[in-house]
Structure 1
Amino acid sequence: MLFEVYGDNAVYQWIGWALVFLGLIGLNEVARRSKAGGLFMFVALPIAMTVYCVVVTVAAGAGIDWGVNNPTVVFQNGWFHYAKVYAALAGCVGFMVLKYRWGSLGKSEAFKVFPFVIVAINILIAVVSDFESAAHYFTGNYEMLNGSPVWTTSEHATQVCGWNNVFNGVAGILNIFCMTGWWGIYSSKKGHDMLWPDMTWVFIISYDLWNFCYTYNCLPNHAWYCGFALLLAPTVANLLWNKGAWIQNRAFTLAIWCMFAQVFPTFQISFPEMGVNSIFAVNSTLNIGTNTAVSLVALAANIAAVGYVAYRAKKLGVNPYKREVFVGTRDFDQAMARREDVAAA
């Protein structure tokens, strides 16, 4: 098994999963369908979150009890969570600039490469985190737990460390090269979405497998939600009703979840010895064999995806990053049909 979903709390764990999955899909729809919804979600709420985080962090630094014991300070104090939430928010704002063509930046051909840049940065943040965990293994800075090498983060999370981190870190780097047609960015007819038609199932599946593995490796007490539910929400939206806008769906849902987790971390964790025991908490099994198997699947998927990109590029005789390589495929054509300027194309 990948997760400890059993026992007295199993029903609540599945209810929690459903609430997160459906909540993210619903809030993504609110954010994408109007400028007001997007500005509230990705400008107003982040300002409020930032003020909150600064206040509790300063209070903790001053030794004030309510700051020292604040859940955000205790359970979300690592560099990764702050880097991730603000990188995701930067992507959301940039995507809104592109889809609404705000100012000279939104109309600039050069700025169309922004989605690739910000996604690559987000991937690299996670890759660094995987390699950080691997460093604990290779420097001997770990303990053994039920036969698996583990270390405990500043946020009290126990991570399995080893070659699994190396395999998945390499998978993440390869995943960056699976993004093609960097300048093929469009606005949808109704202005609801920023479309990247060349980001088809080839990238989406390889990304989902890599990112799930990252959460499983490095966020083992969060992966049920930020790996399973969070990744599935944008993928389902892209599959069923929002073709071509997967990367926007992903950025929006990621930012929403990261803000929620930063402010309300105790929803998904259980540390009874610290007085925190959420009925929704789900832990990974923390087994080196399972982690390594998941990492190898992610690595194999990304090797295959890079190979397929190379095949398509050679078949069409194009640079896969300057030009779109999935022209003529079902996913690409369905996304292009949603373009605002499709009639003139």
Structure 2
Amino acid sequence: MLFEVYGENAVFQWVGWLLVFVGLIGLNEFARRSKIGGIIMFVALPICMTIYCIAVTAGAASGATWAVDNPTVLFQNGWFHYAKVYAALTGCIGFMIIKYHWGKLGKAEWFKAFPFVIVAINILIAVISDFESFAHFVSGDYFLLDNGSAAWITSEHATQLTGWHNLINGIAGIINIFCMTGWWAVYSSKKKQQDMIWADMTWVFIIAYDLWNFCYTYNCLPNHAWYCGLALLLAPTVANALWNKGGWIQNRANTLAIWCMFAQVFPQFQDSFPEYGLNSPFAVNSVLSTQANTIVSVIALLANIAAIAYIFYRAKKLGVNPYKKEVFVGTKDYEAARARIADGECPEHEIADYEAAHKILDGNKAA
């Protein structure tokens, strides 16, 4: 068992998970299906959130009673949470620029690499957080729990384990960055430009990412991972698998930004700190076991090693640079996503690359 989802609050914990999962899918659909939906979710709401966060932080700094004990100040005021929410929002806005071809950026070929850059930045933010936790282990700045696991208390009052699992998963995250292929091959979808399609981001990357990111949340957000590690990761993955093929990265950015904004303003939903007067029935903690964290971290690392090995195999097979060209041409996942790309979106050189890849694949089959 990875989480403490039993006891008197078990029903609330499972219902809470379902509400988060379904809510994220529904809000993602609202955001992706129209320009106004995207603007409401990723421009208007963030402005409101920013005003709120500035107000409570400034109030707390001045010693105002109403702000000092504010849940956002107490439990969501670390560098990571702010970096994550604004990095995710930057991704959402950038993806809308690409899929709607807004302005010069939306029409620029070089800007098509933006999705890779912003995803890499988001991954690095998490990797740094894992390494920050590992630094506590190396420096001896930790205490032992009753089960012998090394732990430290974060600035947001959460008990977090420290150990080799942080280093292992940090390495997995760095590898995961290079499991993204076809950096410039992102396009608008056919139906009302609802989606930004990255066809070469297939299940190979998605599974490797999900395992790494779940492990990250389990390592560094042990009191949030039930929601941001499971519900949040499964929402875009299910959407990509069932009805939005090729749109995973857009779904991921949208749901991540939505969840981060909610968690920033309403941390009392998922946090339980009785000593601070906060005891949510929806809160779920991990079991805080070094053994469990290590097993999850090793799985994440092995999955990413397998993914990048397969990517290099495909690249060699097609004779291409996996970052400049697409490597999953001919696979079921890729072809289903490519079929959703709007007519006239792919430049001639990309069409030529696609046809050349199929000739190589057909030649290998014939041989």
Q: TM-score, normalised by structure 1?
A: 0.99
CA deviation digits over 1:10-31, x for unaligned, max 9?
Answer: 0110000000000000000000
CA contact (8 A) 1:216 1:291 kept: yes
Displacement of 1:71: 0.4
Length, aligned pairs only: 345
Query: What does 1:46-85 align with in structure 2 at a 5 Å threshold?
Result: 46-85=46-85
Post-superposition CA distance 1:117-157 (Å, at most 9, x none): 00000000000000000000000000000210000001011
Distance in 2, matches of 1:224 and 1:215, equals 9
Query: Per-residue displacement from partner, 1:11-66 (whole Å, max 9, x unpaired)?
Result: 11000000000000000000000000000000000000000000000000000011
Describe the SS at the equivalent of 1:151: strand
Q: Which runs of 4+ in 1 moved over 6 A?
A: none
Partner SS, residue 309 of structure 1: helix
Quick one: which amino acid aligns to residue 18 of structure 1? L
Return the letter of the residue paired with 2:212: W
Taking the aligned partners of 1:189 and 1:115, their CA distance within structure 2 comes to 19
Q: Which residue of 225, 231, 234 corresponds with 1:232? A: 234
**What residue number does 1:183 align with?**
184
Partner of 2:73, secondary structure, is helix
Check the 8 A contact 1:336/1:342 in 2, yes or no.
Answer: no
2:217 is matched by which residue type in structure 1? Answer: T
**Paired position in structure 2 for 1:291:** 293
Q: Percent sequence identity over matched residues?
A: 74
**Residue 44 (str. 1) matches residue 44 (str. 2):** yes
* Structure 1 CA distance for aligned equivalents of residues 233 and 345 of structure 2: 33
**Counterparts of 1:46 and 1:203 in 2: how far apart (Å)?**
29
SS of 1:199's equivalent? coil
Q: Deviations over 1:273-293 (max 9, x none)?
A: 211110100000000000000
Match of 1:265 in 2: 267
Rounded to whole Å, the distance in 1 between the matches of 2:345 and 2:261 is 39
1:269 deviates by 1.0
Partner of 2:106: 106
SS in 2 for 1:159: strand
CA contact (8 A) 2:187 2:345 kept: no
Gaps of 5+ in 2: 352-367
CA–CA separation in structure 2 for the residues paired with 1:249 and 1:342:
24
Q: Is the 8 A contact 2:223 2:271 kept in 1?
A: yes
Structure 1 regions of 5+ residues with no counterpart? none
Q: In the alignment, residue 102 of structure 1 is paired with which amino acid?
A: W
Within 5 Å, give how 1:125-274 maps onto structure 2. Answer: 125-145=125-145, 146-190=147-191, 191-274=193-276
Residue pair 2:127, 2:174 contacting (<8 A) in 1 also: yes
Match of residue 303 from structure 1:
305
Q: Secondary structure at the match of 1:244?
A: coil
Is 2:36 the partner of 1:23?
no
Hey, what's the Cα distance between the residues in 2 that align with 1:226 and 1:33? 24
Q: TM-score normalised to the size of structure 2? A: 0.93
What is the CA–CA distance in structure 2 between the aligned matches of 1:257 and 1:116, rounded to whole Å? 21
State whether residues 99 and 193 of structure 1, in contact with CA within 8 Å, keep that contact through their aligned partners in structure 2.
yes
SS of residue matched to 1:189? coil
Summarize deviations over 1:227-284 as a string: whole Å, max 9, x none. 0000000000000000000000000000000000000001001111211110100000
Q: Which amino acid aligns with 1:272?
A: P
